[in-house]
Amino acid sequence: MTKSKYDYDIIRDYLHGLVDRETARRMRDLIRTDDVARSIAAGILQLEHEFNGDDHQVESYIEELRQRQLTLIEAETKEEVSSRGWIKLAAAILILAVSSAVLWLTVFRDNVNLVDQELKEPYALAVVDRGSPTESGFKFYAEGDYKRAIISFDSISNDVTATFYNGLSHLYTGEYDDAIVLLGTSTLKASRYRDQASWYRALAMIKVGKKGEAKKSLEGIGKDPKHYKHAEARQLLDIQ
């Protein structure tokens, strides 16, 4: 049985340098000149990146998409497909499966990129009262030494500003679960940091994959035209 030119295994082996010279030349030319082959190659690389190179997870994900399409096809037609027709059908299923994966990963990547872009520039530091118990924590925060800032802020209680910047410090060190807890405290919700805390808490929830909770928070921000991150929240909702 002749294989389709869009054979998943051959394209994947080519990407990993596991094919002979002639096959490598053929695959290189195909990917360079064929949009479908190029999309499949990009999809394979994106899936491997997303699943940390775990071939089993990648193949399971593609197989799940493939089976969904087979179920839809079987529901629409009862006719038996010839061997040659099956080759084309299998290729079409694979293209659709990988294309779906590429689309999902593109959306996911855009989502993450927007969040990372928002976190790239730390929230500005408010004016600090010299000699206050929180001064050292703010000094470390301003220097980007968030680990030491956390230690300092943790020693302070009942200070809403310290709580807010403590939450941000956890966010910038990748301790997203702690950031979610701190930025969601009742004291912050009733403070002048309410809008900022709700925004950064939503970003932290996206980072840990709590999409349902993040969406609920973003919807609240998106419905409030006075919120300083109104436009960004609506953009993230469109990507979700």
Instruction: List C-alpha distances in Å: 18 to 6, 14, 237.
Output: 17, 6, 41
Q: What is the DSSP string of 103-144?
A: HHHHHHHHHHHHHHHHHHSPPPPPP--TT-TTHHHHHHHHTT
Q: What is the mean pLDDT of residues 209-224?
A: 90
For the record, the structure tokens of 26 come out as 């053929």
Annotated domain spans of the chain: 8-104, 122-239
Cα–Cα distance, 228 to 176 (Å, whole number) = 22
Cα–Cα distance, 81 to 92 (Å, whole number) = 14
One-letter-per-residue 3-state SS of 6-66:
CCHHHHHHHHCCCCCHHHHHHHHHHHHHCHHHHHHHHHHHHHHHHCCCCHHHHHHHHHHHH
Report the chain's mean pLDDT, rounded to a whole number: 77
Residues near 2 by Cβ (< 8 Å), separated by ≥ 6? 87
- Segment 179-210, tens digit of pLDDT: 999 999 999 999 999 999 999 999 999 989 88
* 39-48, 56-65, 143-152, 159-168: range with lowest mean pLDDT: 56-65
Burial degree of 55 (CB within 10 A; 0-12, 13-18, 19+)? exposed
Q: What is the mean pLDDT of residues 136-140?
A: 88
Residue 96 confidence class, pLDDT cut points 50, 70, 90: low
Domain range 122-239, CATH architecture: Alpha Horseshoe (1.25)
- Segment 16-73, tens digit of pLDDT: 778 788 888 888 888 888 877 777 777 777 777 766 666 676 666 666 666 665 665 5
Q: Percent of the chain beyond pLDDT 90?
A: 28
